[in-house]
Chains A and B, each alone.
Chain A
Amino acid sequence: MMTDMTVATPIQALTKKDFESGLDVRWCPGCGDYAVLSQITKLMPKLGIPRENYAFVSGIGCSSRFPYYVNTYGLHTIHGRAPAIASGLKLARPELSVWVVTGDGDALAIGGNHFIHAVRRNIGLKIILLNNRIYGLTKGQYSPTSELGKKTKTSPLGNIDQPFSPVALALGAGATFAARAIDSDQAMMAAILERAAKHEGTAFVEILQNCVVFNDGAFDMLSDKTMRDDTRLMMEHGKPLIFGKERNKGIRLRGMDMEVVTIGENGVTAADILVHDENAAHSGLAFSLGQFESPDFPVPFGVFRDVDKPSYESLSKQLAESARAAKGRGDLQRLLNSGETWTIE
Chain B
Amino acid sequence: MALMITSDCINCDVCVPECPNEAITQGDDIYIIDPAKCTECVGHFDESQCIEVCPVDCILVDPNHTESKDQLQAKYQSLTGG
Contacts and interface: CB of A to CB of B under 8 A. Distances in A.
Check if A and B associate: yes
Interface of A: 15-17, 25, 27, 29-32, 34-35, 37-38, 42, 183-184, 186, 210, 212, 223, 225
How many B residues touch the partner, as a band?
10 to 19
Contacts of A29: 12-14, 16-17, 53
Interface in B13-34: 13-14, 16-17, 28-30
A30 B7 contact: no
Contacts of A37: 11
B8 interface: yes
A135 to B, nearest CB: 20
A17 B12 contact: no
Interface of B: 7-8, 10-14, 16-17, 28-30, 53-57
B13 A186 contact: no
Contacts of A32: 10, 12, 55
Contact of A30 (B8, B28, B55): B55
A183 B10 CA distance: 8
A34 B10 contact: yes
Instruction: Report the 10 A-B pairs with minimum CB-CB distance, sorted nearest first.
Output: A35-B10, A29-B14, A30-B14, A34-B12, A38-B11, A30-B55, A34-B11, A184-B56, A29-B13, A30-B12
7 contacts: A29-B12, A29-B13, A29-B16, A30-B54, A183-B10, A223-B56, A225-B57
A29 B14 CA distance: 4
B12 A35 contact: yes
Contacts of A25: 13
B10 A186 contact: yes
Contacts of B57: 225
A25 to B, nearest CB: 7
Contact of B53 (A30, A38, A42): A30
B7 A186 contact: yes
A175 B12 CA distance: 31
